[in-house]
Structure 1
Amino acid sequence: MGCTALIVIDMINTYEHEDADVLVDSVRASLPGVDAVLRRARADDSPVIYVNDNFGRWRSHRGEIVQAALAGRHSELVEPIAPDEDSLFVVKARHSAFFETPLAYLLGQLGAERVVLCGQVTEQCVLYSALDAYIRHLDVVVAADAVAHIDPDLAEAALRMMERNMGADIRLSHKISFDAPSTRRPGHARPGHAEPDRDAPAIPGDATPGPGP
């Protein structure tokens, strides 16, 4: 039985890009969820993999990326969820965590069959990473309260797409188990395979229960 890996997407951020001012409030709302899912993964000794943009600095490595974010204008959004010594780190250049990165190989080496996604941006990097995980026959879980968005309407639509089209399990961080087995048969989609988490807000910060993301 394969393990579950937590993938933290683009949370080590300098917030110097053009969408930063729109994004930061959603990131702030997502921090408790990110922290919770990190604690759960670490408590279960599950692999924690940070996959992060290199800010266009092609000679950057993990230490430089983390230090640049901690020295940035919103270090308070980085410090609480910064990688520890046991965390793995993959640098990406495009939206998907898998595109031209060693992530798929790393997951294979770890024996991971299921991934839990959190981070930013729901309607961009999280969505594309979920699709790339799905087409690689990985079970996908998205922590609904641990993802941050720029556009709330697109974020809600992205969560619904991940659930319906990729068979992703969308649920709150405190309801995610890292010892759950993988159940997808390779090559077979499972849209709507699990009972949706009806308590999960459609997007972080939306406290109104809805019909599920």
Structure 2
Amino acid sequence: MTHHPAQSRTALLAIDMQNSYFEFPELEEQRESVTAKVNELIAAARRGGNPVVLVRTQHERDRSTWTVNMHDDDEGFAYPGTEQAQYVTGLDTEGGVGLVKTRDSAFFDTDLAARLRNLGAGHLVLCGVSTHSCVSQTAVDAFAHNFRAAVARDAVASENPDLSRALLAFLADEMRQEILEQAEAVSRLRG
């Protein structure tokens, strides 16, 4: 992809900041802290005139959107209109563009790449849950779509810290993606 001057914006992708993911006790312990950090990034993006994409996972009751492991376990989640599918209490959604996904990557079977290009975004900052699954898969696919992605380390959460550290190292080493501290991420989004 050729980067045009119009694609110089940095979009914030807030991934899966919804009730269903915070049902894990390890994530519930991090909910208030990570929500505050994500809100700080959202406010910075808004101040900087950068787009905010609020990504949520949602599945259909008829099983048509279920993943292999959901079929194996005979258990779906985050159905439309349920509490599980809603954003966590306190998440700043003002001015955010919503995107629904059915897989770990926000790029899989969605129009995210086209939306980002239409918003003029060539760079991304990712935050949300879970670091080792949805955040990292979205980061890998951002690389595949030629977006420069970075992960806001303080604004991600995971119920598997060892796997989270390993995947952040992989993203930094193999995908050449920056792992940003909160102040760096805020500064980048403010422009």
**TM-score normalised per structure 2:** 0.78
Q: Which residue of 1 aligns with 2:183?
A: 174
Q: Cα gap change, 1:161/1:70 in structure 2, threshold over 3 Å: closer, same or farther?
A: closer
* Mapped partners of 1:65, 1:87: distance in 2: 19
The 5-angstrom pairing of residues 58-73 of structure 1 reads 68-69=83-84
Q: Percent identity?
A: 32
Relative CO higher for 1 or 2, CA cutoff 8 Å, sep ≥ 6? 2
Verify the 8 A CA contact 1:26 1:148 in the aligned structure 2.
yes
Q: Which residue of 2 aligns with 1:80?
A: 90
* Mapped partners of 1:123, 1:44: distance in 2: 28
Q: Which residue of 2 aligns with 1:21?
A: 25
Q: Which residue of 2 aligns with 1:123?
A: 132
* 2:41 paired with 1:37: yes
* Mapped partners of 2:9, 2:163: distance in 1: 31
* 2:12 paired with 1:6: yes
Higher helix share: 2
CA-CA distance at 1:12 after TM superposition: 2.0
Q: Which residue of 2 aligns with 1:164?
A: 173
Q: Cα gap change, 1:15/1:136 in structure 2, threshold over 3 Å: closer, same or farther?
A: closer
* Mapped partners of 1:52, 1:122: distance in 2: 14
SS of corresponding position for 1:79: coil
Q: Which residue of 2 aligns with 1:196?
A: none
1:53 maps to a residue whose letter is T
* Mapped partners of 2:59, 2:36: distance in 1: 25
- Render the CA deviation track for 1:20-57: whole Å, top value 9, x for unaligned: 22322233332232121111101112100011101445
Equivalent pairs, count: 168
Query: Aligned-pair RMSD on alpha carbons?
Result: 2.5
Verify the 8 A CA contact 2:22 2:31 in the aligned structure 1.
no
CA-CA distance at 1:159 after TM superposition: 0.8
The 5-angstrom pairing of residues 47-66 of structure 1 reads 47-56=51-60
CA-CA distance at 1:101 after TM superposition: 0.6
* Mapped partners of 1:123, 1:16: distance in 2: 15
Q: Which residue of 2 aligns with 1:185?
A: none
Could you tell me which runs of 5 or more consecutive residues in structure 2 were left unpaired when the two chains were aligned.
63-78
* Mapped partners of 1:16, 1:118: distance in 2: 15
Q: Cα gap change, 1:149/1:135 in structure 2, threshold over 3 Å: closer, same or farther?
A: same
* Mapped partners of 1:157, 1:21: distance in 2: 21
1:31 maps to a residue whose letter is T
Verify the 8 A CA contact 2:13 2:52 in the aligned structure 1.
yes
Q: Cα gap change, 1:125/1:90 in structure 2, threshold over 3 Å: closer, same or farther?
A: same
